[in-house]
Chains A and B, each alone.
Chain A
């Protein structure tokens, strides 16, 4: 203040041009910096977010500040063609979410209406949109309480958000938030929890000028009925076999604020399987969604169940063993072959028995032979006395000799142990 000189400096009055010109150069530099390219790149976490939002389930993104949650939401809003409204929860008061009490002329007669904030009114007027509630975990408890009513009941004061408004919230991980907040178990159970992490490689490439452009999932109308059927079969099948998984409140302190299985979250998982199936998403995306809904343990069991459900149908394989497509992965291939032997055993005819041998030959010729040994042994034991030995068995001679080799090796290993010396 004391050093202020009221008269313009001589250099400025002599040439007024440099000031805007300098900013022009700065603008050029900024334009160069902003001139980045994008490249398509699969992004499972963004895909999972898109599917959960499409399924109209409240999503909670857990992630450190500054790792691109807002950027992801912007891209998501673009893709879904929804206007994005971002509300930073921590700078608001509870009344911004629950409505401001406005006292009229005669409160006793007319009551006290709760006036909604402007963004909510706009959102209702638009009829659709993506509402992003950022920094949920640093807001005061009263604000959080008001927000949760908004998320779960979709009400702001006297307003009700239209059905086409989708809500996503973001919170900092409990460990890193100094003034962090714990979700209570019932509230946690209503969210799809997605962990948001940055990909080192993507960040480096992005700073170098090329940001990823995720190709987001599209629901295929033709797949819808099949997707619902698959989702129902998966969840009902698993819960029939494992009734204990239906409801399991987490026992430890830190897990209560995360995903855990209950009829409500299984219902959410069912929707998400249907959405992921209809979108043709891969297993990684489904895994993020399912584990973020019913928790890690139950989620992994469900995925294992789906894995088994997705194995090729043994009856179809038996119908055309020579052209059968067997899974590539060894453990799944073995499970498939054992499934085939199982169905042959349940309805034993010579034709089916022969077809199974043909299938084992096919398996040996297209993959690792050791997988065939156990199914072949079981199948051989099913033979009825009057059945001819199929030709196919000769082509499995290599498998038999390999099995014997393993037997001899096991015998040597056993001798080694008892023989001591080492």
Chain B
């Protein structure tokens, strides 16, 4: 590297580069830890500045020479944002999931990642570099994630994009570059160290709310408490409920094993199969979208079948407003639809529990704007609660707050 530097002519202006980092750290104090953890590496092959997944920052001396300090400060923040937001990991995952293999696809990932960062990275002490890409400049809405932007534009639409594009390196899209030093090179950070820095930055942001812009606060919340996919949560809850004692396949001493006659004097348990009966109670106002409800209902049916329930053991109690959605889904899936309840969730419970034989598990799909039964029913209860950001306001009783689901139910937030 040093030999290259001596023949390359232009020296890297370290003072300028570090003055820019100082500027960046002063105007974005919550990113200081991450900025200082980046290890700069002089490289003549990188067009501007680029990062790799090991938190090295490759810097072109020529780029530093021609760029004003205040713009370099913005580039520092931009590059460290790629790493904090794990664009390389997310880029890899999205590429695998959507089958994006070509270099052009990685370029799109880089651009989509730039859009995610740039909509609120600049201003407030940072100058956007010349030709910066923003969602606005591509005619896209602001405040989305890289994965959202990815499907919303095509490269052919913007023939002159290449000129404006900054190659942010493998740290931005997951594709190895020829200048990368790789995992074994010097000054790389291990995965755990990277997690640690991300965690500390996120902690700094949530610890002092109000100093960081919305986008960073959202990121910090997600970094500390990543959102849980509701399908898995609902699956876990239904599975636990249906495979508990008394339902499903289990050993029991209730009836002697068939091996018992061969082994006199020994009491063997036998394997008994008792598939769980599941009743789904749908209680919903018109505010629940058909798609949400339909997919949640299908999900419950699929999970129940997977744990050994037969089709005829899954039934649905529908309230009037939801019958329109429940009917077609149940017909297509071969699920029994039993009687309509009222508009009150308590009626739905009564109908479900009146069935003979009684269900082992009741799954309730609701948006929670409802009274709950006063006492615990005799079977396990899983509540799928549709997220409702805007609370329903009752004009006659503006102070009305809907009851929270009771403690005896396992509650999963959907959507």
Contacts and interface: CB of A to CB of B under 8 A. Distances in A.
B346 interface: no
A98 to B, nearest CB: 10
Nearest to A330: B36
A301 B202 CA distance: 12
Contacts of B15: 369, 398, 401-402, 405
B248 A253 contact: no
B25 interface: yes
B127 A416 contact: yes
Contact of A330 (B37, B69, B193, B199): B37
A254 interface: yes
Interface string A256-271: 0100000000000000
Interface stretch (B97-105, B227-235, B399-407): B227-235
Interface string B116-130: 000000011111100
Of the candidates B14, B18, B187, B245, the one having the most CB atoms from chain A within 10 angstroms of its own CB is B18
A328 interface: yes
A304 B200 contact: yes
Interface string A277-288: 000001110011
B250 A283 contact: no
Contacts of B62: none
Given A253-B410, A330-B36, A405 B236 contact: no
A414 B23 CA distance: 12
A312 B16 CA distance: 29
Contact of A422 (B128, B235, B410): B128
Contacts, number: 179
Interface stretch (A177-185, A186-194, A340-348): A177-185
Of the candidates A95, A284, A409, A422, the one having the most CB atoms from chain B within 10 angstroms of its own CB is A409
B192 interface: yes
Of the candidates A100, A252, A253, the one having the most CB atoms from chain B within 10 angstroms of its own CB is A253
Contacts of A417: 123-125, 127
B228 A252 contact: yes
Interface residues of A, number: 62
A27 interface: no
Contact of A179 (B21, B22, B306): B306
A333 B245 CA distance: 56
B26 A406 contact: yes
Interface size class of B (residues with CB under 8 A): 35 or more
Interface stretch (A120-128, A135-143, A232-240, A315-323): A135-143
B57 to A, nearest CB: 11
Contacts of A304: 196, 199-200, 203
B224 A297 contact: yes
Contacts of B124: 417
A284 B190 CA distance: 7
Nearest to B413: A252
Interface in A156-194: 174-175, 178-182
A174 B232 contact: yes
B39 A409 contact: no
Contacts of A140: 248-251, 271
7 contacts: A142-B251, A174-B232, A181-B239, A254-B233, A282-B190, A300-B195, A416-B127
Given A93-B251, A178-B307, A413-B23, 8 more contacts: A103-B266, A142-B269, A174-B236, A334-B32, A368-B21, A410-B27, A417-B125, A422-B128
Interface of A: 93-95, 100-104, 115, 140-143, 174-175, 178-182, 252-255, 257, 282-284, 287-288, 297, 300-301, 303-304, 307, 328-331, 333-334, 368-371, 373, 398, 401-403, 405-406, 408-410, 412-414, 416-417, 422
